[in-house]
Structure formats: C-alpha cells, structure tokens
C-alpha cells in the first residue's frame, strides 16, 4: 500500500516545481523554455511535473496568481490598521519604490513575453485577465473608500482611476525596461504619485 500523500506535501512539491520553472523562464525566456528544460533543472521526471501541471502555461499562470494573491493578502491585512485611503495609495507607491530596477526588469521581461504569447490565444488571454482584474478590483476598492469618506473628489470615476493607476505604473516600468538609472527611476515614481493624487483629489 502506497503512503498517503498529504496536501501539505503536494503544495510543497508544487512550489518546488514552480521555483524551478521560474528559474528556467527567467534564464531562457518563456517561449524558449521547454518542459525538458524544467525537468533537467529540477532533476525529476516529466511525469512527476505533469501530475501537478499540464503545461508551462499553467505554471506561469499559477506563479503570477500566487504572487498576486500573496500581495493582496498581505496588503489587505496591513490596511486594517491604515484606514485612510490616501495612506493606502501612498503605501502602494512605497512598495513600487522598494522594488529595484533589476528586479523590475526581470519580472517585466517575464510578464511581457507571456502577454504577447497569450494575446494570440483566447484561452490564455481569459486566464490572464482573471489575474489582472484582481489588481484593478483591489485599487478600485481603495478609490471607492476614499470617495465615500470624502478624501477623494466626489465625481471620481473609481474604475477609470484604478485603470489609470496601473497604466501609469506599467508605462513607467516599460520606460525603464532597457535603460535608466535607479535614482531617476525613484524620482519618477515620486512624480507619478503626485500626478495621481492631483487627479484623484481634484
């Protein structure tokens, strides 16, 4: 009789596989990486990987979703002691400032390649949108709260403000994708924060 596999063991195994896949994706790129690359890097059988993930696309979605969920969980808990919507938005900018350009470039290259790949595949586009919508809904919740308390302007379109928030952030990341200095990047985040606050406070 084979030993019972616990849920904790399964989660640990999945995490190990995802960490190995991430290493391969960031080293070779998403499209160039094959399942054989991941197998070689991890030193486990292809069957063992397929028992947890059906494809490298599923691995990517899981990675991105895990990262998003962890950020939302941690931040939502922190916000319980930070009732001001303005302070919550400022905290998000402090997170951006805390991310180095090196880390940003690694993740942006990873995300951009997958987004271009997924754009030609409706099922992957749907999965990506489910992931991305979590970020939009999260910021919209902050905007809604600030509008209700009077911190933000009464005529604020919170859905549009949420999309603007992320669009400016993503646009800045693209601007610094291949060139630019850390100090300039941080100063530009400051300018971006001031610009967004002028918009939401009116």
C-alpha dihedral over 118, 188, 85, 148, to 10 degrees? -80
Closest alpha carbon to 89 in 139, 154, 15: 139
Phi first, then psi, for residue 102 (nearest 5°) are -60, -45
Statement to judge: residues 103 and 197 lie in one domain: yes
Predicted confidence at residue 103, as pLDDT, reads 87
Statement to judge: residues 42 and 123 lie in one domain: no
What is the domain range of residue 80?
57-201
Statement to judge: residues 185 and 99 lie in one domain: yes
Statement to judge: residues 46 and 137 lie in one domain: no
The sign one gets for the Cα dihedral 83, 85, 89, 90 is negative
Statement to judge: residues 64 and 27 lie in one domain: no
The tokens describing 185, both together, are: 């990047």
Statement to judge: residues 41 and 63 lie in one domain: no
Predicted confidence at residue 143, as pLDDT, reads 98
Predicted confidence at residue 81, as pLDDT, reads 94
Distance CA 15, CA 45 (A): 16
Number of domains into which the chain is organized: 2
Predicted confidence at residue 175, as pLDDT, reads 92
**Residue finishing a domain among 54, 72, 88:** 54
| Range 115-118, long-range pairs (CB < 8 A, 24+ positions) | 117/30, 117/31, 118/57
pLDDT tens for the chain, residues 1 to 202: 455 668 888 889 999 999 999 889 888 888 899 999 999 999 999 999 999 999 999 999 999 899 899 999 999 999 999 999 999 999 999 999 999 999 888 888 878 888 898 899 998 898 888 888 999 999 999 999 999 999 999 999 999 999 999 999 999 999 999 999 999 999 999 999 999 999 999 7
Predicted confidence at residue 5, as pLDDT, reads 66
């Amino acid at each position: 009789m084979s030993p019972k596999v616990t849920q904790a063991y399964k989660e640990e195994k999945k995490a190990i596989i995802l960490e190995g896949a991430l290493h391969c994706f960031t080293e070779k790129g998403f499209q160039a990486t094959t399942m054989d690359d991941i197998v070689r890097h991890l030193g486990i059988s292809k069957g063992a990987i397929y028992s947890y993930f059906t494809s490298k696309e599923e691995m990517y979605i899981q990675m991105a979703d895990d990262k998003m969920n962890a950020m939302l969980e941690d931040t939502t808990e922190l916000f319980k002691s930070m009732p001001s919507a303005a302070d919550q938005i400022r905290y998000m900018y402090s997170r951006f400032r805390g991310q180095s350009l090196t880390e940003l470039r690694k993740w942006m290259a990873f995300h951009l390649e997958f987004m271009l790949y997924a754009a030609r595949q409706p099922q992957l586009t749907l999965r990506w949108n489910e992931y991305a919508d979590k970020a939009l809904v999260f910021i919209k919740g902050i905007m809604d709260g600030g509008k209700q308390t009077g911190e933000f302007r009464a005529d604020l379109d919170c859905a549009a403000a949420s999309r603007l928030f992320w669009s400016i952030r993503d646009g800045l990341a693209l601007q610094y994708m291949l060139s630019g200095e850390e100090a300039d990047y941080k100063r530009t985040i400051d300018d971006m924060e001031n610009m967004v606050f002028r918009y939401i406070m009116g």
